[in-house]
Amino acid sequence: MTRLGVVMSSDENDPAEAWGVLNPGSARDGNGDLLLFPRIVAEGNYSRIGRARVLFDDEGTPVGVERLGVALEPDELWERNARTAGVEDPRITYIDELGIFVMTYAAYGPITPRIGLAVSNDLEKWRRLGPALFAYDPDLRVDLNLYANKDSAFFPEPVRAPDGRLALAMLHRPAWDLSEFSIDGGAAVPDGIDDPRPGIWVSFVDLEDARADVGSLAHFSSHRPVALPEQDWESLKIGAGPPPVKRPEGWLLLYHGVQGELIEGTDHQPNVCYSAGAMLLDADDVTHVLTRSTTPVLEPETLEEREGIVSNVVFPTAIDIRSETAIDVYYGMADSRIGVGRLITRDRGGKNNMRP
């Protein structure tokens, strides 16, 4: 991935951005303008989701933003806790089948982070659908609603669920640690999962249900693991990045991997490193990984990526498809600012350029 530079930094005169602007969602509006929806963080780790228009130079390179206000405040009780509040790290997908934009985000609520969902017709007014609810699956023998869950993103078009029905699918990342409120301090890992480290899962919503009632988008079933940590640079956990992109070979998914040491009870981890990888999912079975990075496609190297609220972080969350071969990737830099890079997915001869 080729770095294009920093596209958004905190406004030092705005207290709402005192602890950084980072990890945006993105979408093109009806005028063709690219809008970013950054997480903007005030002192005390109080997070809102902002709204900004991306500015381009004459060559089409993103160079800055025009701020347009706040898209979502942590107004709901399930988005707040005794210490602070937060709606965080949005991903935005336009689902053509429904004719709506769907935002998934992390709600920093009273128990654990949960996935929140909101929908919009115009990228200006958003209507919450509530927290994501996961149907009980007796084969897993756990209740997914008990666990912290983040890093969620919808596929932009219907896929096949495990039972063969057409469905809308959402990637997410449950964490099996129940120590904050478990009596025995332990973790209950689903049946069939031998590795307790957090990884990428997918759950499904029946397409006909979603067509009949958009509120169905908050109700998921048929939960399946997609990928778990493998390499040293993702040894602690992995999570989905921006919404997947359809390519002739399958679904291209950018994701983040984390290595280092976690400190319990700390919001901002000082001893970790976040890098970005890529994987290709089977178009006919999105639970199946065809290939994935063995080395990062992006890792913290520049000063802006290495020093900030949380040092050594690149965290991809938004994409803008520029051509058949080029994708602009917007990512959080050290939990403090937003950078953009360009990923070339295929060369002119048709060769796959994704790093194996």
What are the 10-residue block averages of pLDDT along the chain, 356 residues in total? 97 96 98 97 97 97 98 97 96 97 97 95 98 96 94 98 97 89 73 95 98 98 98 97 96 97 69 96 98 97 96 97 95 97 70 33
The pLDDT value recorded for residue 356 is 25
The pLDDT value recorded for residue 270 is 74
Rounded Cα–Cα distance for residues 36 and 265 (Å): 31
The one-character DSSP state at 348 is T
Please indicate, yes or no, if residue 355 is contained in any of the structural domains: no
Please indicate, yes or no, if residue 356 is contained in any of the structural domains: no
Please say whether the dihedral angle defined by the alpha carbons of residues 9, 11, 336 and 130, taken in this order, is positive or negative. Answer: negative
CATH number of the CATH domain containing 140:
2.115.10.20
Helix and strand numbers (H, E) in the chain are: 2, 23
* Torsion angle of the four alpha carbons 128, 101, 98, 346, in this order, in degrees rounded to the nearest 10: -140
Cβ-in-10-Å burial (0-12, 13-18, 19+) of 18 comes to middle
Rounded Cα–Cα distance for residues 338 and 226 (Å): 28
- Which residues make beta-bridge pairs with 315? 332
Q: How many domains does the chain have?
A: 1
Nearest to 91 by CA among 156, 31, 46: 156
The pLDDT value recorded for residue 177 is 85
Please indicate, yes or no, if residue 112 is contained in any of the structural domains: yes
Q: Are residues 127 and 214 in contact, defined by beta-carbon separation less than 8 angstroms? A: no
Rounded Cα–Cα distance for residues 231 and 81 (Å): 35
Please indicate, yes or no, if residue 115 is contained in any of the structural domains: yes
Radius of gyration of the chain measured on its C-alpha atoms: 19
The pLDDT value recorded for residue 352 is 38
The pLDDT value recorded for residue 258 is 98
The one-character DSSP state at 50 is E
**Number of residues in the chain:** 356
The pLDDT value recorded for residue 349 is 42
Please indicate, yes or no, if residue 132 is contained in any of the structural domains: yes
The one-character DSSP state at 284 is S
The pLDDT value recorded for residue 354 is 35
Please indicate, yes or no, if residue 354 is contained in any of the structural domains: no
The pLDDT value recorded for residue 350 is 42
Cβ-in-10-Å burial (0-12, 13-18, 19+) of 173 comes to buried
The pLDDT value recorded for residue 353 is 34
Please indicate, yes or no, if residue 352 is contained in any of the structural domains: no
The pLDDT value recorded for residue 268 is 67
Please indicate, yes or no, if residue 349 is contained in any of the structural domains: no
Domain that holds residue 117: 2-344
The CA–CA distances, whole Å, from 91 to 48, 84, 141 equal: 14, 22, 29
